Amino acid sequence: MSETEAILKRYKLRNTPFRQRVVEVFNIKPHSALSTSQIESLLGAHDRITLYRTLKSFEDKGLIHQVTDGKGESKFALCHDQCEVHRANKEHAHFHCEHCDTTYCLEDAGSLEIQLPDQYQVKSINLALTGVCADCQ
Amino acid sequence: MSETEAILKRYKLRNTPFRQRVVEVFNIKPHSALSTSQIESLLGAHDRITLYRTLKSFEDKGLIHQVTDGKGESKFALCHDQCEVHRANKEHAHFHCEHCDTTYCLEDAGSLEIQLPDQYQVKSINLALTGVCADCQ
DNA sequence: CTATATTTGCAACAACATTGCATTTAGCTC
DNA sequence: GAGCTAAATGCAATGTTGTTGCAAATATAG
């Protein structure tokens, strides 16, 4: 059994050729998040409807999670073993490189302290940095 | 000269009836950010294309800025005198109430410290909190 | 191998956004 | 205030992104 097949099985997802292709796309750039259009161009020829539903299944089963990069575009990233997104109330930082358009997951990268107006109840925190990554310097 | 007219003039924007209406929409809920669809419903009858171009002009001239609320939807907010968005490298926090869907600008609300991998160059920081605001408790 | 529920791929559709162009209008100069 | 010019407006056409319904194909369990 290939590693891709094992991943699908671990997340209780049916092992189809299309899903294998999608998982492999995520493995091209590990620890980074991909927009729908990036996924589409890495995939090659495919049916867009099937991709949307595949991403939804992946997210429902906990294989990927959604990320906002601070630029309004929503992206998807593989959940890793240390992925905290599916546990509650965990801040999760991302770095968006404006040069290569890659969004990196920064797990466990810092601390923050916020003073909120009284009575505001915080449920989740999204921290997105924008700049230039090491590869693009 | 009305206050709305004065605002347009200050940002070197032509003073048209349509632009006055858009500025007034932003003044309905000061210090909060509006999505395109929220703006559209507050505006009443209007031409959608003109609105898109108006928002672009407003942003180019520095009257409004774009905000991401951490939920993938992009919103617009008036820049205030203390608005730091158009100066460089300034963190800027927002609070998105998941109950009333309002996004508040939290200027000057806290501090954060992030450890980045070497050689990453940060240009801007976007911090979005999600939860329930005081009005909706 | 067979049964069954899931997945896939196509068609149609809906929401959101952009471009080009002709017309109108704001603001400047005289 | 009249005329000029560049900017703004409104309409048509088109593009992009995402959804829904349905019939055919297929992965997994028994």
Can you list the domains of chain B with their CATH numbers? 3-136 (1.10.10.10)
Mean pLDDT of chain B: 84
Answer whether A79's CB lies under 8 Å from A45's CB: no
- More confident of the two residues A103 and B17: B17
A83 pLDDT above the threshold of 70: no
B10 pLDDT above the threshold of 80: yes
Class of residue A59 by CB neighbours under 10 A (exposed 0-12, middle 13-18, buried 19+): middle
Answer whether B93's CB lies under 8 Å from B109's CB: yes
With a CB cutoff of 8 Å and minimum separation 6, the contacts of B90 are B84, B124, B125
- Number of other residues whose CB lies within 10 A of the CB of residue B2: 11
A88 pLDDT above the threshold of 70: no
How far apart CA A34 and CA A31 sit, in angstroms, is 10
Range from A4-13, A101-110, B77-86 that averages highest in pLDDT: A4-13
How far apart CA A50 and CA A33 sit, in angstroms, is 20
- More confident of the two residues A102 and A68: A102
Q: Is the CB of A15 under 7 A from strand D?
A: yes
B88 touches chain A (CB under 8 A): no
- More confident of the two residues A111 and B22: B22
A111 pLDDT above the threshold of 70: no
pLDDT of residue B11: 95
What is the token pair recorded at B38? 């929220």
B31 pLDDT above the threshold of 90: no
Residue nearest to nucleotide D28 (CA to C1'): A14
- More confident of the two residues A109 and A106: A106
CB–CB contact B68 A71 (8 Å) = yes
Instruction: Find the mean pLDDT for residues A108-112.
Output: 61
CB–CB contact A123 B130 (8 Å) = yes
Residue A79 CA distance to nucleotide C2 C1' (Å): 37
Q: Is the CB of A13 under 7 A from strand C?
A: yes
Type and span of the H or E element at A101: none
- Residue B130 bridge partners (DSSP): A124, B96
A42 pLDDT above the threshold of 90: yes
Type and span of the H or E element at B17: helix B17-28
Query: How many angstroms away from the CA of B21 is the closest CA of chain A?
Result: 25
- More confident of the two residues A137 and A92: A137
pLDDT of residue A55: 97
With a CB cutoff of 8 Å and minimum separation 6, the contacts of B30 are B78
What is the token pair recorded at A118? 């009284």
Give me the helix-helix angle, A36-43 and A48-61, nearest 10°. 120
Cα pseudo-dihedral B83, B85, B18, B20, rounded to 10 = 10
Q: Which chain B positions have a beta carbon within 8 Å of A93's beta carbon?
A: 114
How far apart CA B74 and CA A73 sit, in angstroms, is 8
Region class of B31: left (phi > 0), else alpha (psi between -120 and 50), else beta: left
How far apart CA B73 and CA B103 sit, in angstroms, is 11
- Number of other residues whose CB lies within 10 A of the CB of residue A94: 24
Q: Is the CB of A37 under 7 A from strand D?
A: yes
How far apart CA B9 and CA B3 sit, in angstroms, is 10
pLDDT of residue B126: 81
